[in-house]
């Protein structure tokens, strides 16, 4: 069930990525529609993070190419933003929340230019969107996990890009932050932005995403959520690893359970 779309925002063609000559992603061919909230889902080690990193050219690829907005990546850097995994940076770094959010403006500023008032305003506005405006001068080492994630999100928002890649934004955050983030992501989608999210929680997936990419080294499925999240495809993705999964898939399909209790 791999659905290709017309006029895709992201086009991945025959992408293979290897670590140390061992392929971790094999022959990925997919297209993603504009203005969608896309979930990339699969078991641990399936290459979910690798896929989005390869889409942004952060990793050397063995074969294949990626086009974004029908252009090579180099020409559209300013329209792309990235929210890396929270653990990927040192949170004891001597920087304030505002310093980090302002980094979102660096790409547009270009070489030798200092941030101006417009950039400071954009950073403050982004902080307000994630509800962290009161923390602008706070040291980043004093933040909780959820607050760190909001700061990263604000940094991406400050960039005002058209496509956002997010690596596990819901990992290890409190429920209030998770709700706040998903609301924000929906808002962004409604503004016509494309948001691609690496996600590990199957339960919430059907509720959160419009489009789901199922991945386990190979591409198992890519299509609208309701067509993709079914037992057969989930079993193909997760293999026989968990019998529980088929039950979860069943329940999800029948919608007996809400994906998460609404607060």
Partner 1 sequence: MNAFWIILTGSLVATCCSLLGCFLILRRMAMVGDAISHAVLPGIVIAFMFTGSRDTIPMLIGAGLLGVLTTFLIEFFHRFARVQADAAIGVTFTWLFAIGIILISVFAGQVDLDQDCVLYGEIAYVPLDLIITEGGLSMGPRTVWMLAVVTLLIGLFIVLGYKELFLTTFDPAFAAAIGISTSLWYYLLMGAVSLTTVASFESVGAILVVAFLVAPPATAYLLTDDFKTMLGISVLLGTIASFAGYYLAVWLDGSIAGAIATVTGIEFLLAFLFSPTHGKLRRQKRVQTVGH
Choosing from 16, 18, 62, 96, the residue that interacts with partner 1 (CB under 8 A) is 96
Q: Phi first, then psi: what are they for 122, rounded to 5°?
A: -60, -40
Q: How far is the CB of 91 from partner 1 (least distance, A)?
A: 10
- DSSP result, 211-229: EEEEEESEEEEEEEHHHH-
Which residue lies nearer to partner 1 by CB, 99 or 235?
99
Q: How many CA atoms lie within 13 A of 207 on its CB side?
A: 17
Residue span 156-175 as binding mask against partner 1, x where in contact by CB under 8 A, dash where not: ---x-----x----------
CA–CA separation, 161 and 76 (whole Å): 10
Spatial contact of 135 and 118, defined as CB atoms under 8 Å apart: no
CA–CA separation, 197 and 212 (whole Å): 10
Tokens, residue 108: 């547009």
**16-35 burial code (b ≥16 CB/10 A, e <16):** ebbeeeeebbbebebbbbee
Stretch of 5-13, 37-45, 86-94, 249-257 contacting partner 1, by CB under 8 A: 86-94
Which residue lies nearer to partner 1 by CB, 98 or 238?
98
Interaction residues for partner 1, span 13-52 (CB under 8 A) = 20
Which residue lies nearer to partner 1 by CB, 140 or 182?
140
Should residue 114 be labelled a site residue for partner 1 when binding is judged by CB under 8 A? Answer: yes
CA–CA separation, 259 and 203 (whole Å): 5
Choosing from 6, 22, 74, 117, the residue that interacts with partner 1 (CB under 8 A) is 74
Residue span 138-157 as binding mask against partner 1, x where in contact by CB under 8 A, dash where not: -x-x-------------x--
Stretch of 103-111, 172-180, 211-219, 245-253 contacting partner 1, by CB under 8 A: 103-111
Which residue lies nearer to partner 1 by CB, 58 or 118?
58
- DSSP result, 79-113: GEEEE--GGGS-TTSS-BHHHHHHGGGHHHH-TTP
Interaction residues for partner 1, span 201-230 (CB under 8 A) = none
Residues that bind partner 1 in the complex, under the rule CB under 8 A: 20, 53, 56-58, 74, 77-78, 80-82, 84, 88-90, 93-96, 99-100, 103, 106-107, 109, 111-115, 139, 141, 155, 159, 165
């Amino acid at each position: 069930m791999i659905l290709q779309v017309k006029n895709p925002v992201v086009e991945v063609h025959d992408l293979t990525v290897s670590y140390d000559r061992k392929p971790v992603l094999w022959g990925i061919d997919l297209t993603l529609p504009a203005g969608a909230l896309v979930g990339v889902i699969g078991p641990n080690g399936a290459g979910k993070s690798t896929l989005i990193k390869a889409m942004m050219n952060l990793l050397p690829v063995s074969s294949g190419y990626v086009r974004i907005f029908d252009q090579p990546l180099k020409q559209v850097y300013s329209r792309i933003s990235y929210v890396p995994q929270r653990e990927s940076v040192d949170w004891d770094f001597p920087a304030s929340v505002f310093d980090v959010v302002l980094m979102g403006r660096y790409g547009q500023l270009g070489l030798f230019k200092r941030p101006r008032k417009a950039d400071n305003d954009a950073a403050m506005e982004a902080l307000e969107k994630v509800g962290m405006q009161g923390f602008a001068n706070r040291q980043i080492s004093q933040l909780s996990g959820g607050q760190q994630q909001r700061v990263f999100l604000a940094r991406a928002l400050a960039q005002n890009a058209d496509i956002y890649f997010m690596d596990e934004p819901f990992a290890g955050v409190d429920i209030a932050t998770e709700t706040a983030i998903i609301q924000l992501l929906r808002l962004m989608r409604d503004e016509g932005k494309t948001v691609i999210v690496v996600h590990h929680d199957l339960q919430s997936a059907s509720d959160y995403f419009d489009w789901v990419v199922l991945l386990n080294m190979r591409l198992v499925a890519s299509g609208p959520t309701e067509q993709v999240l079914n037992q057969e495809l989930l079993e193909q993705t997760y293999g026989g690893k968990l019998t529980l999964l088929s039950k979860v898939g069943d329940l999800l399909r029948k919608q007996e359970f809400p994906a998460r209790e609404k607060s």
